Amino acid sequence: MEYSKSLKYHYQTKKGWINDPNGLVYYKGYYHVFYQHAPDYEIPWQEDMHWGHARTKDFLHWEELPVALFPDMPYDKDGCFSGTAIVKDDVLYLFYASICKNPPQGQSKQSVSVAYSTDGLHFEKYQGNPVIPHYPIDGCKDFRDPAVCYANGKYYCVMATGNQELKKARLALYESEDLFKWEYRGIMCDWDNARFTECPSLVPYGDKFLLSVSVCTFENHYFSVMYGAFEDGVFHIESSSEIDKGPDQYAGQIFCDHLGRAILISWMPGWKYKGFADADVGCMSVARQIFVEDGKMFTYPIEELRHLLKDSDPALVRTEDGFVVERTRRDPFVYRGKVEDLKLIRDGYVLEIFVNGGTEVYSVLL
């Protein structure tokens, strides 16, 4: 497989490591995609995490922009980890997990900080950072990936955390009126027999909400998207789906664009591929719109990308009970189940598979 050849439709950096999508937002005529980034290395943890930055008008043509956030302050000197973006009064705010391995008293190693921009290109860090300096008593030291949302006249910040003693993965909730002063509200959602959560996002959908999260169990992780009511600081799950079942996907994030669409983008192919090739093979998935109809959830490429969909690909072979995808230097990916409809997007070494109208999605590194 030709891993050195650039992808056409899946965003990837020209150089360096890329992982979680951050700060997905529509601002001043562009879709902005930020991401975890090591600018000078093709494998992670050789340097502290930055926020890379790209923009597009159609999710087909991409412009790579200068690095948006550097780990250059005392509170984030060991990394600017994942987070989200929000627009308020025509100003773009980036909320991120600020990492400091030896923090001062009253601040945990993982805290929440904010930067802002009036042009979408140049960012200034808030002088009062970190705005949430410590994890709550209901959480743990795994306290990161702020997801900021505006609802019911207030701003909310959803934090990924857990409780080791209770063996629960948790989402902690904070509330604010100005994006700078935050008050802890409690646990909005949790999962049993798990360590912690990662990379949440909370967005309005009709008169209810979509909540996405990666849940890290004691054995593996899974990515879940839930639909339900968000009331009195609690998310009430009405339906849920492991909407992208991988096998080569991680850290999805949802945002609501100016057209009212709930759009999901994920990182491919995941942590197990660090060092898999000479250069990083990481990229963003195509942009997918999420739909909920009659309590059932599905996702499909946004309208701008649907002309890329194909009915077949040489890497995928249909079988009597599903299909098989051949992968380089690894076992084939095997799907067993009834396939009434199958659509594919192939881009170099990446294959995205939409089964039965997007009720199941599989992201595969070939």
**Active-site residue set:** 20
CA 98 to chain centre: 17
Under a CB-based contact definition with an 8 Å cutoff, are residues 52 and 70 in contact? no
For tokens 């059932």, what's the residue? 296
148: its two tokens? 């900021």
Which residue type sits at 24?
L
- The C-alpha angle with vertex 69 and arms to 199 and 276, in degrees rounded to 5, equals 60
Under a CB-based contact definition with an 8 Å cutoff, are residues 59 and 287 in contact? yes
Measuring CA to CA, how many Å separate 157 from each of 29, 140, 146, 147, 338?
A: 25, 17, 6, 5, 40
| Beta-sheet pairing, 262-268 with 283-284 | antiparallel
DSSP string, 321-345: TEEEE--TTSPPEEEES--S-EEEE
Q: According to the 3-state scheme, what is the secondary structure of 76-133?
A: CCCCEEEEEEEEECCEEEEEEEEECCCCCCCCCCEEEEEEEECCCCCCEECCCCCCEC
Under a CB-based contact definition with an 8 Å cutoff, are residues 25 and 11 in contact? no
